[in-house]
Amino acid sequence: MSLVFDRNVLLNHPCSTLLLDDDADVVETLRNFLGGRTACLGYTSPQLALGRLANTGQSAADLSRFIGHYGDRPEDQSADKADRLLLLRYSEVLRYATSPSRYDMISVVISDYDMPEMTGIDFFRQIKHLKVKKVLLTGKADEKVAVEAFNEDIIDGFLLKQDPRIPDRLPAMVLAQHNAFIRENSRILVEMLRASQDNTFEHDGIDAILDQVRKNFSFMEYYFITEPRGFILRNAAGKTKMLRLETKKTLGEIADIFEDQFGRSPMSDAVRAAAVLPENVGGPGWVHRLYDDFETHLVPCRITGDWAWALTDFSQEDEMLSTSSWSAHRSAVLERPINPRVN
């Protein structure tokens, strides 16, 4: 199973699901319906479920830490000409992409309606402030109540427990609601980058490139970065790749810079022809650094439309890269008993 690229999502990864029903047998049955497609925590106690949600930091993350800028406004420049060009801080995106806590984030909460301690509607009222997606399981007699709760934005969807199609409909509902959760979480980053006119992620060619990458590397997570431009990709086993992207126009400009300083060379010709991608462009002395050791800093690439791209092994020497994977997290969650205590 691989992840489909969504232009409205810049940081995309699996999350956990929380399932609440006062009948333990029902909890286990529904967890089996969801199978290996999600990491599903099971609860029969509304209070324990509320405690778990209270300890997950479910309010929107402070995404401002991901945002940097290319430079401050010169004093003599008017405000309309001095809008900062925004970028995603590579170090912060990397920290997020390698933190096991991203999997602990709960994106979807499923609750039965008819429970002795409180109804599912009452339960969802108590977590209305959380940005999790809320799905109500209800009987035929309670369908009107579910419709009213949906119209009042207390829940995001509902399913009838007696529906014979629930083994298929529940996983489909969870996936759709998870995607909506991730999309809403990413909205502020998308809007900021659009405002700064960095809309690389919206180019048609990016979809085609990621489709080609998926054939050889079935990624379950992706994280868009602006410097260097591209994506951090991870598969279910935690293997990490870097997808480097550059336009042919930009490569021509880089070749111009080389030739202005060193004259024309096979290296500048290769860059101009989009046969190779230069690494570590930018920062003090980058032209000399690249020229002095071009064999290390030039990566063979492929062409798709206006884009040159290369999929490379992740070179970041960071122990965190091996500390978490979606497969390991999902297996650990599925082995937990019902009503796991908050650590």
Task: Tell me the DSSP string of 209-264.
Answer: HHHHHHHH--EEEEEEEETTEEEEEEETT--EEEEEEEEHHHHHHHHHHHHHHH--
Instruction: Output the pLDDT for position 67.
Output: 67
**Per-residue pLDDT reduced to its tens digit, 305-339:** 999 999 998 765 454 455 578 999 999 998 999 99
**Per-residue pLDDT reduced to its tens digit, 2-55:** 577 888 888 899 999 999 999 999 999 999 999 777 899 999 999 999 999 987
* pTM metric for this prediction: 0.86
Tell me the C-alpha distance between 256 and 241, whole Å: 30
The alpha carbon of 39 is separated from its chain's Cα centroid by a whole number of angstroms, namely 16
Nearest to 120 by CA among 151, 77, 149, 91: 149
Strands 67-69 and 39-43: unpaired
Please, what are the domains in the chain? Answer: 14-188 (3.40.50.2300), 241-313 (no CATH)
Task: Tell me the DSSP string of 34-83.
Answer: HGGGSEEEEES-HHHHHHHHHTTT-SPP-GGGGEEES-PPPTTS-GGG-P
Tell me the C-alpha distance between 219 and 217, whole Å: 6
pLDDT band at 124 (very low <50, low <70, confident <90, very high): very high
For the segment 194-216, the average pLDDT, to the nearest whole number, is 83
Q: What mean pLDDT is reported for the chain? A: 83
Share of the chain above pLDDT 70, in %: 80
**Per-residue pLDDT reduced to its tens digit, 231-290:** 999 999 988 999 999 999 989 998 998 888 888 988 889 999 999 988 766 656 667 766
Residue 114 or residue 322, greater confidence? 114
